[in-house]
Amino acid sequence: MPRSQYNPRVVIDTNLVLSALVFVLGRLSPLRLAWQGSLCKPLISSVTAAELIRVLAYPKFKLSAVEQQELLADYLPYCATVRMPTKPPAVPECRDTLDLP
């Protein structure tokens, strides 16, 4: 299958998405180029979208509302929306209490 037709669906941790968006020349900038170049199709749920919106507003990033919207526009159109089941499947215990659904 030609590379242009292969578009793996991927789940990307919000912190990685955030770094790829906020730090344009950072080490995760290739990740941003991957979704924008259709090398992968990020999956996003209402929960992960809300988390991304929340963290983009953190004061430490000093992003205006317009900048936050622009960064979301650089990510959300490339995503496929997924619906989480009412009862999520069992997953290993997470050490990061802020990462729990």
Residue 64 lies in a domain: yes
Q: Which domain holds residue 29?
A: 3-84
Question: What averages of pLDDT result for each successive group of 10 residues across the chain (101 residues)?
Answer: 72 96 95 96 96 97 98 98 83 76 58
Residue 39, token pair as written in the block: 């090398």
Predicted pLDDT at 1:
47
Residue 15 contacts residue 58 (beta carbons within 8 Å)? no
- CA–CA separation, 78 and 39 (whole Å): 11
Number of domains in the chain: 1
Predicted pLDDT at 92:
81
Tell me how far apart the 2 most distant CA atoms of the chain are, in Å.
Answer: 45
Residue 99 lies in a domain: no
Predicted pLDDT at 98:
73
> Phi/psi at 81 (nearest 5 deg)?
-80, 135
Map residue 14 onto helix, strand or coil: helix
Q: Which of these, 42, 31, 30, 40, lies nearest to 4 by C-alpha position? A: 40
Residue 98 lies in a domain: no
Residue 85 is given by DSSP the state P
